[in-house]
Each structure stands twice: as C-alpha cells, then as structure tokens.
Amino acid sequence: MTNDIRRIAVIGAGLMGHGIALEFAAFGYDVALHDRDAGQLARAQADIPIGLDRLRDLGRIDARTAAAASERIALGTDLVAAVAEADLIVEAASEDLDLKRTLFRRIDVAAPSRAILASNTSTFMPSQLAAATNRPDRVLVAHYFNPPHLLPLVELARGPATSDATIDTMRAFYRGIGKQPAVVQREALGFVGNRLQNALLREALAIVEAGIASPEDVDRIVKNGFGRRLAVAGPFEIADAGGVDVWLTVAGMLFPDLSTAAAPPAFAAEIVARGDHGLKTGRGFYDWTPESAAALRDRIGQGLAAIARLADARGDGPAE
C-alpha cells in the first residue's frame, strides 16, 4: 500500500523529471534526483523553487511546505547511490529505448528487490522495459502530462506481467498526493491520452491542409468551444449529456469524412525541416517573441490553476 513507499528516486532531471521530483518532495517524500549531466542538475535546482511556488499559488501546499520541500531533494550524478534505498524509481530520461533499457537493467541490479520501477515514457511499452529486469511484476509506465506537477493525471500502464499489487500500490500512492491515476489495462501505443491527443491533432492538421480553416481559427474553435467542456467532462459524459442517439447520428455522418492519414502532412514536416520547432526556436505554426512565449506559458499555467480551483470547489475526486 501507500506506506510501502517512503523514499523515491527520479532518474532524469529535465523538464518532466524535475517537475515529478518537486511534487513528490512537496508531499513529504525524500527524493533522489539523478542526472548524468551536472549542468542539467544545476538547471533543475534553479527551476524547482519556481515549480514549488506554483504549487503554493494553487493552494496545494503552503509557503512553509514549499520552503521545506527543496531540502528533501538530493541531486546527484551517481545512479547507484540514487536508487540504493528507493522504494519507487521513476525514470524520466530521454525517449531512447536503448538508453531506457540500459537504465532499467542497471537500476534492477542496484535497487532493493522491493522497489517498483516506473517509466514516464510516452512511447515505449512497459514490456519492453520489463524485459531488461528480473522483476517484470514490479515494472509499469507512469505517464505524466506536461507540466507534471500541475496536471493531475498519471496514466498507469501495465505490462502483461505487471501485478495487481503493483497497480494497487501505485494507484493508492498517487491518490495520496492528490493525483488522478487512471489504469491502462492493456499495452497500446501512446496509451490513452496521447492516442486521443493525436486523433485531434491529425484532424486539425487535415483541416488546415485542406484550407477549411487557419491554425488560428482551429485553435479559436477548440479553446472557445468544445475544449472548455473537456476541462470539466470527458467525451462519454458529454455524449450522455447531449444524448447518445444524437452523437451516434452525427458520428455516422462525419466518421467517413474524417482524416485517416497514416503520416503527418507535408506542410507540418516542412515547418520542422526549416528548424521551426515552436516556442523554443521562436517559430512554429506561429511566430513567437520571448514576450509572447512567456505570455503563453503563463496563460497555460494560470488556466490550469483556475481549472484546479474549480475542481477543488466541486470536490472532484478519483472516479471509481
């Protein structure tokens, strides 16, 4: 159960890893944050107080807890030392299967036999990682969405050998720190969240490619239309609210006309080929200045905070 997890190691101190680590620390856990790159650890050390302040602003922790949480995070480049006493290890390294399998192999040898090994991968199957260990029953994917400390969802994706006890322990653990764990019962590429996101993105790209609407208007339609509903209700709840008969009729007309493209369209590939990767390069589907990029990040953060406060006011809890 939850009290089986006391000490945690997070492997990889990048965008996701440091956010995962700071949330664990904010809720009282001692965390070893490992990265082989000392420079990345230094950046994480600078970013951790910012993330803790955001949790404080959300009301999830108070100022005293935020100040104390940084002291619970030990940063280091020694992998063996990081996992030696851990009850839970969350791997958040780069999306490279060989790298992840090497890490899992090394962690399996160095970590206590009781430890659960989780990966934040959004790409690879749990069985691909479990095969590198001698504890496949204690291996799973714990897939977060960015920013990991602000979005409550964690997808717990089980492999064929993942035990019910491991899933039950992780579900109770995440609920204990205010997350919303959802179990993915069978291996599927992209799990659930990324499959749904990419289904929407494929149709959005097809709409722009066909000249039906611009990227700006597609975003406007999502943000000011059905996207607002999706912040408070899922697709099946929305279908029930509108009438399953109505949704079935609409789906019967639209499904044959929706994109079934097996690859992203050429215009999107050309954007990347030009070196335009979004906010980090100053241009993607839009042009970004440092000021407008910062404003978008702040708008997303403030929006997530507002949604979280609404959810708290409604008393939303994990669905059973």
- Tell me what pLDDT residue 312 has: 72
Reported pTM: 0.90
Tokens of 249: 């009729």
Other beta carbons within 10 angstroms of residue 164's beta carbon come to 9
Bridge pairing between strands 88-91 and 73-76: unpaired
Q: Are 318 and 181 in contact (CB under 8 A)?
A: yes
Q: What local confidence, expressed as pLDDT, does residue 315 receive?
A: 65
134 included as an active-site residue: no
AA identity, residue 28? G
Residues pairing with 180 in the sheet: 153
Residue in 18, 91, 119, 155 annotated catalytic: 155
Q: 134-150: b or e for each residue (b if 16 or more CB lie within 10 Å)?
A: ebbebbbbbbbbebbbb
**How far is Cα 178 from Cα 234, in angstroms, rounded to an integer?**
19
Active site residue 18: no
What pLDDT, on the 0 to 100 scale, is given for residue 120? 98
pLDDT, averaged in runs of 10, over the chain (320 residues): 82 96 97 97 96 88 92 97 98 97 98 98 96 98 94 96 98 96 96 96 98 98 94 93 96 97 96 96 97 92 81 59
Q: Is 31 exposed, middle or buried (0-12, 13-18, 19+ CB in 10 A)?
A: buried
Residue among 34, 119, 120, 122 flagged as catalytic: 122
127, 194, 198, 259: the catalytic one is: 194
Question: For residue range 146-175, what is the model confidence (pLDDT) as tens digits?
Answer: 999 999 999 999 999 999 999 999 999 999
User: What is the signed CA dihedral for 291, 295, 298, 302, rounded to 10 degrees?
Assistant: 160
